[in-house]
Protein backbone atom coordinates (compact mmCIF):
# COMPACT_ATOMS: atom_id res chain seq x y z
CA UNK A 1 0.00 0.00 0.00
CA UNK A 2 2.37 2.78 -1.10
CA UNK A 3 1.38 6.27 0.08
CA UNK A 4 1.74 8.49 -2.98
CA UNK A 5 -0.66 11.31 -2.18
CA UNK A 6 -1.56 12.71 1.23
CA UNK A 7 -4.29 15.05 2.44
CA UNK A 8 -4.22 16.92 5.73
CA UNK A 9 -7.49 18.17 7.19
CA UNK A 10 -7.04 21.39 9.15
CA UNK A 11 -4.05 23.66 8.63
CA UNK A 12 -3.65 25.06 12.13
CA UNK A 13 -0.61 24.53 14.36
CA UNK A 14 -0.41 20.79 13.74
CA UNK A 15 -1.93 20.40 10.29
CA UNK A 16 0.49 22.95 8.83
CA UNK A 17 3.47 21.12 10.34
CA UNK A 18 2.26 17.70 9.15
CA UNK A 19 1.61 19.00 5.64
CA UNK A 20 5.03 20.64 5.59
CA UNK A 21 6.97 17.48 6.51
CA UNK A 22 5.03 15.40 3.95
CA UNK A 23 5.66 17.94 1.17
CA UNK A 24 9.28 18.31 2.26
CA UNK A 25 9.73 14.55 1.71
CA UNK A 26 8.50 14.93 -1.86
CA UNK A 27 4.94 13.69 -1.36
CA UNK A 28 2.18 15.61 -3.18
CA UNK A 29 0.16 16.98 -0.25
CA UNK A 30 -3.15 18.79 -0.19
CA UNK A 31 -4.49 20.63 2.85
CA UNK A 32 -8.16 21.26 3.51
CA UNK A 33 -9.43 24.18 5.61
CA UNK A 34 -12.88 25.48 6.43
CA UNK A 35 -12.64 28.68 4.38
CA UNK A 36 -10.25 30.66 2.19
CA UNK A 37 -9.06 32.86 5.04
CA UNK A 38 -8.09 29.90 7.26
CA UNK A 39 -6.47 28.19 4.26
CA UNK A 40 -4.36 31.25 3.46
CA UNK A 41 -3.35 31.59 7.11
CA UNK A 42 -2.32 27.91 7.24
CA UNK A 43 -0.33 28.00 4.00
CA UNK A 44 1.32 31.26 5.10
CA UNK A 45 2.35 29.56 8.33
CA UNK A 46 4.16 26.87 6.31
CA UNK A 47 5.76 29.45 4.03
CA UNK A 48 6.97 31.50 7.01
CA UNK A 49 8.36 28.43 8.79
CA UNK A 50 10.35 27.46 5.69
CA UNK A 51 11.47 31.05 5.03
CA UNK A 52 12.77 31.25 8.59
CA UNK A 53 14.69 28.01 7.96
CA UNK A 54 16.21 29.49 4.79
CA UNK A 55 17.17 32.67 6.69
CA UNK A 56 18.93 30.61 9.35
CA UNK A 57 20.73 28.50 6.75
CA UNK A 58 18.90 25.29 7.82
CA UNK A 59 16.74 24.88 4.70
CA UNK A 60 18.19 25.35 1.20
CA UNK A 61 16.12 27.74 -0.96
CA UNK A 62 15.65 24.97 -3.55
CA UNK A 63 14.13 22.69 -0.88
CA UNK A 64 11.72 25.43 0.19
CA UNK A 65 10.65 25.94 -3.44
CA UNK A 66 10.22 22.20 -4.02
CA UNK A 67 8.24 21.79 -0.78
CA UNK A 68 5.86 24.59 -1.73
CA UNK A 69 5.50 23.09 -5.22
CA UNK A 70 4.37 19.80 -3.62
CA UNK A 71 1.71 21.60 -1.57
CA UNK A 72 -1.77 22.65 -2.53
CA UNK A 73 -4.86 23.76 -0.66
CA UNK A 74 -8.62 23.41 -0.91
CA UNK A 75 -11.78 24.11 1.04
CA UNK A 76 -13.58 21.14 -0.51
CA UNK A 77 -13.49 17.58 0.84
CA UNK A 78 -14.46 16.15 -2.55
CA UNK A 79 -11.04 17.10 -3.94
CA UNK A 80 -9.39 14.59 -1.61
CA UNK A 81 -11.08 11.54 -3.11
CA UNK A 82 -7.98 9.96 -4.68
CA UNK A 83 -5.57 10.44 -1.74
CA UNK A 84 -3.91 7.33 -0.29
CA UNK A 85 -3.73 8.70 3.24
CA UNK A 86 -5.78 11.37 4.99
CA UNK A 87 -4.44 12.84 8.23
CA UNK A 88 -7.02 14.75 10.24
CA UNK A 89 -5.85 17.64 12.45
CA UNK A 90 -9.02 19.63 13.20
CA UNK A 91 -10.08 20.78 16.66
CA UNK A 92 -9.89 18.27 19.53
CA UNK A 93 -13.59 17.49 19.57
CA UNK A 94 -15.11 14.07 18.88
CA UNK A 95 -18.26 15.35 17.14
CA UNK A 96 -16.23 17.52 14.76
CA UNK A 97 -13.85 14.69 13.95
CA UNK A 98 -16.66 12.18 13.39
CA UNK A 99 -18.40 14.65 11.08
CA UNK A 100 -15.24 15.11 9.00
CA UNK A 101 -14.54 11.37 8.77
CA UNK A 102 -18.13 10.45 7.88
CA UNK A 103 -18.01 12.91 4.98
CA UNK A 104 -14.57 11.72 3.87
CA UNK A 105 -15.78 8.11 3.98
CA UNK A 106 -18.42 8.97 1.42
CA UNK A 107 -16.03 10.72 -1.02
CA UNK A 108 -12.71 8.84 -0.72
CA UNK A 109 -11.71 5.74 -2.66
CA UNK A 110 -12.09 2.46 -0.78
CA UNK A 111 -8.36 1.97 -0.19
CA UNK A 112 -7.72 5.39 1.42
CA UNK A 113 -6.34 5.10 4.95
CA UNK A 114 -7.74 7.53 7.52
CA UNK A 115 -5.53 8.74 10.39
CA UNK A 116 -6.38 11.04 13.26
CA UNK A 117 -3.78 13.28 14.89
CA UNK A 118 -5.90 13.49 18.03
CA UNK A 119 -4.08 14.00 21.33
CA UNK A 120 -6.55 12.09 23.45
CA UNK A 121 -9.82 11.14 21.74
CA UNK A 122 -10.64 7.48 21.11
CA UNK A 123 -9.61 6.34 17.63
CA UNK A 124 -12.28 3.63 17.72
CA UNK A 125 -14.98 6.26 18.37
CA UNK A 126 -13.82 8.18 15.30
CA UNK A 127 -13.44 5.06 13.15
CA UNK A 128 -17.00 4.05 14.01
CA UNK A 129 -18.25 7.08 12.04
CA UNK A 130 -16.97 5.34 8.89
CA UNK A 131 -17.38 2.02 7.09
CA UNK A 132 -13.61 1.46 7.00
CA UNK A 133 -12.70 0.75 10.61
CA UNK A 134 -9.93 -1.60 9.46
CA UNK A 135 -8.31 1.26 7.51
CA UNK A 136 -8.35 3.70 10.40
CA UNK A 137 -5.48 4.51 12.80
CA UNK A 138 -4.06 7.21 15.08
CA UNK A 139 -0.94 9.09 13.96
CA UNK A 140 -0.12 11.49 16.77
CA UNK A 141 2.57 13.94 15.67
CA UNK A 142 4.29 16.25 18.16
CA UNK A 143 4.50 20.04 18.05
CA UNK A 144 6.39 21.55 16.20
CA UNK A 145 6.10 18.72 13.69
CA UNK A 146 9.13 19.59 11.52
CA UNK A 147 11.37 19.48 14.61
CA UNK A 148 9.96 16.86 16.97
CA UNK A 149 11.10 13.32 16.22
CA UNK A 150 8.23 11.29 17.64
CA UNK A 151 5.04 9.95 16.11
CA UNK A 152 2.86 8.01 18.50
CA UNK A 153 0.91 5.39 16.55
CA UNK A 154 -2.40 4.56 18.15
CA UNK A 155 -3.61 1.13 17.18
CA UNK A 156 -7.14 0.12 18.14
CA UNK A 157 -8.29 -3.51 17.90
CA UNK A 158 -10.22 -2.68 14.72
CA UNK A 159 -7.15 -1.61 12.71
CA UNK A 160 -5.84 -4.20 10.23
CA UNK A 161 -2.23 -5.35 10.22
CA UNK A 162 -1.82 -3.91 6.70
CA UNK A 163 -3.01 -0.46 7.81
CA UNK A 164 -0.71 -0.50 10.83
CA UNK A 165 2.27 -1.54 8.67
CA UNK A 166 1.51 1.13 6.05
CA UNK A 167 1.12 3.88 8.71
CA UNK A 168 4.33 2.90 10.49
CA UNK A 169 6.32 2.75 7.24
CA UNK A 170 4.89 6.11 6.24
CA UNK A 171 5.78 7.81 9.57
CA UNK A 172 9.30 6.39 9.41
CA UNK A 173 9.68 7.56 5.81
CA UNK A 174 9.15 11.09 7.16
CA UNK A 175 12.21 10.55 9.37
CA UNK A 176 10.18 10.03 12.54
CA UNK A 177 10.65 7.52 15.33
CA UNK A 178 7.45 5.71 16.20
CA UNK A 179 6.04 4.24 19.38
CA UNK A 180 2.81 2.25 19.41
CA UNK A 181 0.07 2.67 21.98
CA UNK A 182 -3.32 1.08 22.53
CA UNK A 183 -6.45 3.14 22.02
CA UNK A 184 -6.79 4.35 25.59
CA UNK A 185 -7.40 8.01 26.56
CA UNK A 186 -4.29 10.19 26.19
CA UNK A 187 -2.27 7.26 24.79
CA UNK A 188 1.28 7.43 26.23
CA UNK A 189 2.36 11.06 25.91
CA UNK A 190 -0.71 12.90 27.17
CA UNK A 191 -1.60 10.34 29.82
CA UNK A 192 1.69 11.29 31.48
CA UNK A 193 2.00 14.95 30.44
CA UNK A 194 -1.48 16.28 31.19
CA UNK A 195 -1.54 15.70 35.00
CA UNK A 196 1.80 17.54 35.23
CA UNK A 197 0.44 20.52 33.28
CA UNK A 198 -2.76 20.47 35.38
CA UNK A 199 -0.70 20.64 38.57
CA UNK A 200 1.33 23.59 37.26
CA UNK A 201 -1.85 25.60 36.61
CA UNK A 202 -3.20 24.64 40.04
CA UNK A 203 0.08 25.77 41.62
CA UNK A 204 -0.24 29.15 39.91
CA UNK A 205 -3.93 29.38 40.80
CA UNK A 206 -3.16 28.56 44.45
CA UNK A 207 -0.50 31.27 44.65
CA UNK A 208 2.45 28.91 45.15
CA UNK A 209 4.77 31.01 43.00
CA UNK A 210 4.80 33.31 39.99
CA UNK A 211 4.39 31.84 36.49
CA UNK A 212 8.01 32.75 35.75
CA UNK A 213 9.25 30.93 38.84
CA UNK A 214 7.14 27.83 38.13
CA UNK A 215 8.59 27.67 34.61
CA UNK A 216 12.15 28.42 35.71
CA UNK A 217 11.93 25.78 38.45
CA UNK A 218 11.12 23.06 35.93
CA UNK A 219 13.53 24.33 33.26
CA UNK A 220 16.57 24.67 35.49
CA UNK A 221 15.59 22.21 38.22
CA UNK A 222 14.49 19.33 36.01
CA UNK A 223 16.13 20.21 32.69
CA UNK A 224 12.78 20.54 30.93
CA UNK A 225 13.34 22.43 27.63
CA UNK A 226 10.29 24.54 28.44
CA UNK A 227 8.41 25.17 31.72
CA UNK A 228 4.83 23.83 31.97
CA UNK A 229 3.04 27.18 31.55
CA UNK A 230 5.15 28.11 28.53
CA UNK A 231 4.44 24.65 27.16
CA UNK A 232 0.72 25.24 27.64
CA UNK A 233 0.98 28.50 25.68
CA UNK A 234 2.83 26.66 22.97
CA UNK A 235 0.41 23.73 22.68
CA UNK A 236 -2.67 25.98 22.91
CA UNK A 237 -4.83 26.43 26.02
CA UNK A 238 -8.01 25.54 24.09
CA UNK A 239 -6.51 22.30 22.78
CA UNK A 240 -5.16 21.38 26.22
CA UNK A 241 -8.55 22.06 27.81
CA UNK A 242 -10.22 19.75 25.29
CA UNK A 243 -7.65 17.06 26.14
CA UNK A 244 -8.20 17.47 29.90
CA UNK A 245 -11.97 17.27 29.45
CA UNK A 246 -11.59 14.09 27.38
CA UNK A 247 -9.32 12.46 29.95
CA UNK A 248 -11.56 13.50 32.84
CA UNK A 249 -14.74 12.28 31.15
CA UNK A 250 -13.10 8.92 30.43
CA UNK A 251 -11.34 8.29 33.76
CA UNK A 252 -13.36 10.44 36.22
CA UNK A 253 -10.10 10.97 38.06
CA UNK A 254 -9.66 14.46 39.60
CA UNK A 255 -6.03 14.52 38.52
CA UNK A 256 -7.29 15.22 34.98
CA UNK A 257 -9.89 17.84 36.01
CA UNK A 258 -9.23 21.14 34.26
CA UNK A 259 -8.34 23.93 36.72
CA UNK A 260 -10.92 26.77 36.69
CA UNK A 261 -8.20 29.28 35.78
CA UNK A 262 -7.50 27.42 32.54
CA UNK A 263 -11.19 27.29 31.64
CA UNK A 264 -11.57 31.04 32.34
CA UNK A 265 -8.58 31.86 30.15
CA UNK A 266 -9.98 29.83 27.25
CA UNK A 267 -13.38 31.51 27.68
CA UNK A 268 -11.58 34.85 27.43
CA UNK A 269 -9.84 33.70 24.23
CA UNK A 270 -6.34 33.65 25.76
CA UNK A 271 -5.47 30.48 23.86
CA UNK A 272 -1.70 30.87 23.93
CA UNK A 273 1.05 31.77 21.53
CA UNK A 274 -1.06 31.19 18.41
CA UNK A 275 -3.29 34.16 19.34
CA UNK A 276 -0.57 36.30 20.95
CA UNK A 277 -1.72 35.80 24.54
CA UNK A 278 -1.86 32.96 27.03
CA UNK A 279 -0.01 32.91 30.33
CA UNK A 280 2.51 35.17 28.56
CA UNK A 281 2.15 37.74 25.80
CA UNK A 282 3.66 37.32 22.33
CA UNK A 283 4.20 39.59 19.39
CA UNK A 284 3.11 37.52 16.39
157 labelled catalytic: no
DSSP state of 184: S
Helix axes 228-235, 237-251, angle to 10 degrees: 100
Q: Does 6 engage in binding with ligand NAD (CB under 6 A)? A: no
Q: Does 32 engage in binding with ligand NAD (CB under 6 A)? A: yes
Please provide residue 114's backbone torsions phi and psi, each rounded to the nearest 5 degrees.
Answer: -105, 135
Q: Does 151 engage in binding with ligand NAD (CB under 6 A)? A: no
- Which one among 6, 12, 22, 278 touches ligand NAD, defined by CB under 6 A? 12
**Piece in contact with ligand NAD (CB under 6 A), picked from 64-72, 87-95, 126-134, 213-221:** 87-95
Please provide residue 223's backbone torsions phi and psi, each rounded to the nearest 5 degrees.
Answer: 60, 30
Q: Which is nearer to ligand NAD, 204 or 235 (CB)?
A: 235
Which one of the listed residues 16, 116, 122, 190 is annotated catalytic? 190
190 labelled catalytic: yes
205 labelled catalytic: no
Q: Does 122 engage in binding with ligand NAD (CB under 6 A)? A: no
Q: Are 93 and 14 in contact (CB under 8 A)?
A: no
Distance CA 126, CA 96 (A): 10
Three-class SS of residue 31? Answer: strand
Q: What angle do CA 246, 159, 114 make, to 5 degrees?
A: 70
Q: Does 24 engage in binding with ligand NAD (CB under 6 A)? A: no
- Which one among 124, 143, 180, 184 touches ligand NAD, defined by CB under 6 A? 143
Q: Are 159 and 132 in contact (CB under 8 A)?
A: no
Q: Does 11 engage in binding with ligand NAD (CB under 6 A)? A: yes
Q: Which of residues 230-269 bind ligand NAD (CB under 6 A)?
A: 235-236, 239
Q: Are 168 and 226 in contact (CB under 8 A)?
A: no
Q: Does 147 engage in binding with ligand NAD (CB under 6 A)? A: no
**Piece in contact with ligand NAD (CB under 6 A), picked from 13-21, 167-175, 216-224, 259-267:** 13-21
Measuring CA to CA, how many Å separate 254 from each of 9, 198, 203, 248, 259?
33, 10, 15, 7, 10
Q: Does 92 engage in binding with ligand NAD (CB under 6 A)? A: yes
Q: Does 119 engage in binding with ligand NAD (CB under 6 A)? A: yes
Distance CA 247, CA 55 (A): 41
Summarize as ranges the residues that interact with ligand NAD (CB under 6 A).
9-15, 32-34, 38, 42, 89-92, 96, 100, 117-119, 140, 143, 235-236, 239, 274
Amino acid sequence: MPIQKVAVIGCGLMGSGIAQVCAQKGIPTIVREINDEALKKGLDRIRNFLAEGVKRGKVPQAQMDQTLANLSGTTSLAELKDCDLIIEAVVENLDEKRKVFAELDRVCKASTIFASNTSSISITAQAAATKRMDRFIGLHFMNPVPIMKLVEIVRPEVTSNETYAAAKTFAESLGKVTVTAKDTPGFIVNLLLVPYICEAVRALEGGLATKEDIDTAMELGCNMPMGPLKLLDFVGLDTTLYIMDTLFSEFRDPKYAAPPLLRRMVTAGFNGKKVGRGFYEYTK
